[in-house]
Amino acid sequence: MFQLFKKRKLYSPVSGTSVALKNVDDEVFSSLMMGDGIAIDPIDEVVVSPCDCSIKLIMHESKHALGLLMNNGVEILIHVGIDTVNLEGQGFEILVKEGQKVKLGTPLLKFNKDYIISKGYSPMTLMVVTEPKGSSIDKKYEDISVIGGKTPVIDFC
């Protein structure tokens, strides 16, 4: 019975500094058109799972984004970089397969931050709750240093 009131957490998908989504230089994300969430200015180059979930979708050609599905039906998008779809997969390596179940902290993809920057793109990594399934974000931990898979960045209920 007490599980009904237990808050769930999403952990940072990459190490760096958390940033308010509204401050991201991409109108689709900053206007919350895709959903609410948080951004991470990365210092690391490995994206890890922010929770126990399954891999719902991989952008195979561009390799810059993954869709995750939690057991409770909540869907999450992790998107590495701003406009990095234009890199056509260069500088990215997917480490998982669609349908694969993963645990919090499991490496999902690697990216080459210097390569992304050298091509004129931002490596800002976005985590957006695209399908809340009746859940709502209670708190976002913005403007703090985070460690991928270790630091909570979103509480929801």
- Residues noted as catalytic: 79
Residue 76's nearest CA partner among 15, 8, 24 is: 8
Q: Is 24 helix (H, G, I), strand (E, B) or coil?
A: coil
Contacts of 123 (CB under 8 A, 6+ apart): 41, 42, 80, 81, 84, 111, 113, 116, 117
Cα angle: 4, vertex 37, 21; to 5 degrees:
155
Residue 154 CB neighbours (<10 A): 24
Residue 77: Cβ-neighbour burial (10 angstroms; 0-12, 13-18, 19+):
buried
